[in-house]
A and B are shown apart, each in its own frame.
Chain A
Amino acid sequence: MHPAPSVIFFTTFSGLGFGLLVFLGLGYPGVTGWSAFAFLTIAYVMAVGGLMASTFHLGRPERALKAFTQWRSSWLSREAWCAVGALVLMGLYGAGLVFFGTRVTALGVLGAALSLATVFTTSMIYTQLKTIPRWNMALTPVKFLSLSLAGGGLLAGQLTIALVLLVIAGGVQLLTWKEGDKALAASGTNMATATGLGDRGTVRAFEPPHTGTNYLLREFVHVVGRRHSQKLRLIALVLMTVVPVLLLMLPFSHIIGILAIASHIAGVLTARWLFFAEAEHVVGLYYGKR
């Protein structure tokens, strides 16, 4: 899959923003007034900024509101509902914290649940696609949720739980890579089934249908980026989990906190780039590529 920067930024930052909203909704940290305002601003900039970035890859962004209509069948539509629901509820809850110094627990818990649901629906957009075997597995939502919570905990300054969550998220990421590498072969889709010609011999793509490129090749066939994937995996894991965990074990200071967050975000961005660049869409098989 083509690793489009808009989608990489969207999933990374909205994941972090909604992760932070989960913690704030549950009252960790139990801040009010200005410091609540500061936390909420960070969460909203990330979550809303991510959502806005996601509209950049639409062909017709002016019609984006139509995406709310098909929640019965479409995960993308459900994501839109959850995101707006979470932002509205957390906005009301935040107003209570900032302006009235009161915490409406029910509102916060509901807002936290919807924030988590937003991350889940985002992950389901990818998970549901049988055409991309690497994504089409139960580990995908686990990965998105664990990363979002780990990043949220880190941003919320909940160091102990963040430490545990970072280790879990790192483990899940490793497992996803391990399972993901076997997914295409396990899916049973190959050039033989794609062409239906497999029972008569070895199928080789002889000539593509077009001499230039096209939408399908640009969007779905991204073979070049996979060359350095092993190195990038290591970099992603170190930045995302190892460095923040080591930093959190040092005596805490704000500088260390910020460094841990920066390293984590850089790691997640790298991992998210790989998530797209490494994903093989079965349509590549028609071009003899994967």
Chain B
Amino acid sequence: MTTLPASTTRKLGLVIDLDTCVGCHACVISCKGWNTENYGAPLSDQNAYGADNAGTFLNRVHSYEVQPEGDAAAQLIHFPKSCLHCEDAPCVTVCPTGASYKRVEDGIVLVNESNCIGCGLCAWACPYGARELDAAEGVMKKCTLCVDRIYNENLPEEDREPACVRTCPSNARHFGDLGDETSDVSKLVAERGGMDLMPEQGTKPVNKYLPPRPKDTLPHEGHDLDVLAPFLKPVAEEPKGFLGWLDKTLEKL
């Protein structure tokens, strides 16, 4: 059914830390790797070794430059983006076949690929560009929140989280239940002021983004720039003994 559930038991999703993401694209690759060989149709590439190559990805990393007012230095922010598993997912209600749905038990938004006619309307309805129609399979692909990992008892316990979360070298992606106030991810969101993307679109995303921390500022005048500096002052300005003799001799040459 493509009507949305009134509420979901849990709200599984990701929390993405824009402060620590280093823009290495490791999550992009691990996502493609896992999802091309597991649940659903593979993520195809077109003309992979040619000049005009393209392919299907469920997760992509943008980079933005933010220029603050005045002459402050610009900040470069890497910005991973995958499906936000919205509570009010417009992609689900537009689907004519019922292929797109939101699960009642955990809130994950999925596509039943054997029902999808590839009309693309759900991708039109998603403001975030989280859905891509696979050119080879003709069906809609999107982030599954690695539903085939998180409940997978054949995997070791530590691997039962999304591939992108597992692989991130800077711990910029966190996975958990955002419907549970006591969960680690919810605490993180509360602590760091986690935000919604395009809140005015009314999609109520489950995934949250942690804003970059402000850059360090220079201390006021009159203060020492570095508290350790006094301790690191050179102890002997003039060399003595043998070194002193050497210094003077070399000077004369």
Contact = CB atoms under 8 A, between A and B. Distances in A.
A238 B102 CA distance: 47
A202 B75 CA distance: 10
Nearest to B215: A200
A209 B118 contact: no
B125 A129 contact: yes
A209 B62 contact: yes
A214 interface: yes
A255 interface: no
A59 interface: yes
Given A201-B66, A201-B69, A206-B64, A69 B124 contact: no
Interface in A74-128: 74-77, 80, 125, 128
Contacts of B117: 58-61, 63-64, 66-67
Contacts of A35: none
Contacts of A220: 124, 129
A201 B95 contact: no
Interface in B1-47: 1-3, 18, 25, 28
A190 B183 CA distance: 32
Contacts of A132: 124
Contacts of A61: 117
Contacts of B63: 205-207
Nearest to A132: B124
B216 interface: no
A226 interface: no
Residue of B56, B96, B195 ringed by the most chain A CB atoms within 10 A = B96
A204 B65 contact: yes
Interface string B80-105: 01000000001001111111000000
Interface string A47-80: 0000000000111110110111110111111001
Contacts of A210: 54, 57, 60
Given A63-B115, A67-B117, A196 B195 contact: yes
A76 B119 contact: yes
A208 interface: yes
Chain B interface mostly: loop
Contact of A69 (B98, B121, B129, B201): B98
A259 interface: no
A287 B69 CA distance: 22
A130 interface: yes
A134 to B, nearest CB: 13
Interface string B222-246: 0000000000000000000000000
Contacts of B212: 197, 200
B197 A196 contact: yes
A125 to B, nearest CB: 7
A251 interface: no
A64 B53 CA distance: 30
B76 interface: yes
A137 B212 CA distance: 36
Contact of A283 (B129, B133, B138): B129
Contact of B116 (A60, A69, A203, A212): A60
A215 B98 CA distance: 22
B94 A58 contact: no
A8 B138 CA distance: 21
B135 A60 contact: no
A281 B139 CA distance: 21
A66 B111 CA distance: 14
A219 interface: yes
Given A70-B98, A131-B125, A214-B132, A189 B67 contact: no
Given A219-B123, A283-B126, A70 B201 contact: no
Nearest to B70: A201
A209 B201 CA distance: 23
A244 B29 CA distance: 57
A195 B64 contact: yes
B68 A201 contact: yes
A41 interface: no
Contact of B198 (A58, A193, A204): A193
Given A64-B117, A68-B96, A209-B62, 14 more contacts: A1-B124, A59-B118, A59-B119, A66-B97, A74-B96, A77-B96, A129-B94, A196-B197, A196-B211, A200-B214, A201-B72, A204-B66, A206-B76, A286-B128
3 nearest CB pairs, A to B = A59-B118, A59-B138, A209-B60
14 contacts: A57-B120, A58-B117, A59-B137, A60-B117, A76-B95, A187-B200, A189-B127, A201-B66, A201-B75, A209-B28, A209-B62, A215-B133, A216-B123, A283-B126
Interface of A: 1, 57-61, 63-64, 66-70, 72-77, 80, 125, 128-132, 187-189, 193-197, 200-210, 212-216, 218-220, 281-283, 286-287
Interface of B: 1-3, 18, 25, 28, 52-57, 60-69, 72, 74-77, 79, 81, 90, 93-99, 115-121, 123-129, 132-135, 137-140, 195-202, 209, 211-212, 214
